[in-house]
């Protein structure tokens, strides 16, 4: 038996290609790991009515970690229209499998490091090194949504929320409600994770991202929780900023920030911004981390327009595999991957189209694998 059993989930579109690339790099490490394929993605929604089939959930229950490529998501009505005829009209509704995995396995930390590797022609500025901690299971992603709005919900809101008067007279299908639900526990654990990370790696500051001046209840709770958690880390500097201002300030002076922590949707937004500052979609890596399981995925999507061309940059997925190794405790192997990526970027001989070059996805992977130096894992 191998030391590690890893669920291998390519998913849709370019997910398949970048995972093939990641495998070339991982195989260069001679890690004692077994990679077990799992079905996931649009195809399984269309043919089985479930983009995350039960057998894949079972697989995830029996692995040390998972590496996941990308998924195609479509709005509810478009998704229903693509179901196999035999599955239509059964009330099946599409939910993003990555969001489901996060919730099913309580992968509450979404960790998104955004580091500018020296000489990357796509760096917004050299030296950027930001780490986003995004809450990953609640907030506007809770999945508590109404469209149309049932009478019972309308009546309850009418009697509890004076501001609801403005909407109370509408017909149920003339509006929709998505609930933003944030808990003390959920806020505490993500904020704590950010502070613990800052402490462990000697980072200079934690910035709490919110919109508590307007979204008072939920973001108010998040900010209040941050104040409490911060007391447990007196040696870590921290501040807080509204999400809108944050996007401006980050662009203006990224060096004023270090570790960022945010509720789910703001974290989604801010992590794309941070990824863009260090090279864009080809460089954004991420981990969805819980107590038992962690699912690692590049931040980018399935990019249908590039699918099958072996053209996209696999560095995001290679760095994602590096994060997985860190999480497994294979720190030396993880470092070797990061060093290899940094060397290939710095030398600039092999570049994918986004970096101004013409290397294919797999040529980039081979170049990185070719740079893996140091002691081989036993
Ligand atoms: C991400 C993505 C996902 C999200 C989508 C694909 C559901 O944007 O991982 O950031 O919104 O969380
Ligand atoms: Mg996103």
C-alpha 268 to ligand 1 mean position (Å): 7
Residue 102 CA, closest ligand 1 atom number: 12
**Residue 85: per-residue pLDDT:** 93
Confidence at residue 374, expressed as pLDDT on a 0 to 100 scale: 58
Write down the pLDDT at residue 373.
74
For ligand 1, mutation pick of 40, 45, 96, 142 (most atoms within 8 Å of CB): 96
Ligand nearest to the CA of 73: 1
What is the predicted pLDDT for the residue at 139? 98
Ligand 1 atom with minimal separation from the 110 CA: 9
Ligand 1 neighbour 268 (Cβ under 6 A): yes
Nearest CA residue ID for atom 12, ligand 1: 268
Among 42, 51, 99, which is best to mutate for testing ligand 1, by the most ligand atoms less than 8 A from CB?
99
Identify the nearest ligand to the CA of 70 by its number. 1
Calculate how far, in angstroms, residue 231's C-alpha sits from the geometric centre of ligand 2. Answer: 31
Q: Is 98 in the pocket of ligand 1 (CB under 6 A)?
A: yes
Q: Which atom of ligand 1 is nearest to the CA of 286?
A: 9
| Any atom of ligand 1 within 6 Å of the Cβ of 299 | yes
Q: How far is the CA of 224 from the centre of ligand 1 (A)?
A: 26
Residue-level pLDDT at 77: 85
Encode the chain (378 residues) as per-residue pLDDT tens digits.
Answer: 889 999 999 999 999 999 999 999 999 998 999 999 999 999 999 999 999 999 999 999 999 999 999 998 888 888 999 999 999 989 898 888 999 999 999 999 999 999 999 999 999 999 999 999 999 999 999 999 999 999 999 999 999 999 999 998 999 999 999 999 999 999 999 999 999 999 999 999 999 999 999 999 999 999 999 999 999 999 999 999 999 999 999 999 999 999 999 999 999 999 999 999 999 999 999 999 999 999 999 998 999 999 999 999 999 999 999 999 999 999 999 999 999 999 999 999 999 999 999 999 999 999 999 999 754 444
* SS3 per residue for the chain: CCCEEEEEEEECCHHHHHHHHHHHHHHCCCCCEEEEECCCCHHHHHHHCCCCCHHHHHHHHCCCEEEEEECCCCCHHHHHHCCCHHHCCCCCCCCCHHHHHHHHCCCCEEEEEEECCCCCCCECCCCCEEEEEEECCCECCCCCEECCCCHHHHHHHHHHCHHHHHHHCCCHHHCCEECCECCHHHHHHHHHHHHHHHHHCCCCEEEEEECCCCCHHHHHHHHHHHHHHHHCCCCCEEEEEEHHHHHHHHHHCHHHCCEEEECHHHHHHHHHHHHHHECHHHCCEEEEECCCCEEEEECCCCCHHHCCCCCCCCHHHHHHHHHHHHHHCCHHHHHHHHHHHHHHHHHCCCCCHHHCCCCCHHHHHHHHHHCCCCCCCC
Q: Determine which residue's CA is closest to atom 10 belonging to ligand 1.
A: 268
The verdict on the CB of residue 99 being under 6 Å from ligand 1 is: yes
Residue nearest to atom 11 of ligand 1 (CA): 268
Ligand that comes closest to the CA of residue 98: 1
Q: In a mutational test of the pocket of ligand 1, which residue from 40, 98, 142 has the highest number of ligand atoms less than 8 Å from its CB?
A: 98
Q: Return the pLDDT at 332.
A: 95
Task: Tell me, in angstroms, the distance from the centre of ligand 1 to residue 284's CA.
Answer: 12
């Amino acid at each position: 038996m191998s030391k590690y059993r890893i669920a291998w989930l390519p998913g849709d579109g370019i997910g398949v290609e970048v995972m093939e690339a990641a495998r070339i790099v991982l195989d260069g490490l001679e890690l004692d790991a077994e990679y077990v394929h799992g079905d996931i993605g649009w195809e399984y929604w269309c043919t089985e009515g479930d983009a995350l089939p039960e057998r894949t959930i079972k697989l995830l229950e029996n692995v040390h970690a998972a590496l996941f490529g990308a998924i195609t998501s479509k709005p509810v009505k478009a998704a229903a229209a693509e179901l196999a005829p035999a599955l239509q009209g059964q009330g099946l509704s599409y939910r993003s499998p990555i969001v489901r995995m996060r919730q099913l396995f309580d992968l509450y930390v979404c960790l998104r490091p955004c580091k500018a590797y020296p000489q990357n022609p796509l760096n917004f500025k050299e030296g950027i090194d930001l780490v986003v901690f995004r809450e990953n299971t609640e907030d506007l992603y809770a999945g508590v949504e109404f469209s149309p709005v049932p009478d019972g919900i309308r009546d309850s809101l009418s009697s509890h929320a004076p501001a609801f008067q403005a909407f109370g007279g509408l017909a149920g299908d003339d509006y929709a409600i998505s609930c933003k639900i944030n808990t003390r526990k959920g806020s505490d654990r993500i904020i704590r994770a950010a502070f613990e990370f800052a402490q462990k790696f000697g980072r200079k500051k934690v910035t709490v991202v919110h919109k508590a001046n307007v979204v008072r209840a939920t973001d108010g709770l998040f900010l209040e929780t941050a104040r409490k958690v911060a007391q447990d880390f007196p040696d870590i500097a921290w501040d807080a900023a509204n999400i809108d201002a944050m996007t401006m300030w980050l662009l203006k002076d990224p060096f004023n920030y270090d570790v960022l922590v945010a509720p789910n949707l703001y974290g989604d937004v801010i992590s794309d911004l941070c990824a863009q500052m260090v090279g864009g979609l080809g460089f954004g890596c991420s981990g969805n981390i819980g107590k038992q399981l962690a699912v690692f995925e590049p931040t980018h999507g399935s990019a249908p327009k590039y699918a099958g061309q072996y053209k996209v940059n696999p560095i995001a997925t290679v760095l994602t595999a590096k994060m997985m190794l860190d999480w497994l405790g294979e720190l030396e192997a993880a470092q070797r991957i990061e060093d290899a990526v940094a060397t290939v970027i710095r030398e600039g001989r092999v570049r994918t189209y986004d970096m101004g070059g013409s290397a294919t996805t797999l040529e980039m992977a081979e170049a990185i694998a070719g740079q893996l130096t140091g002691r081989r894992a036993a």
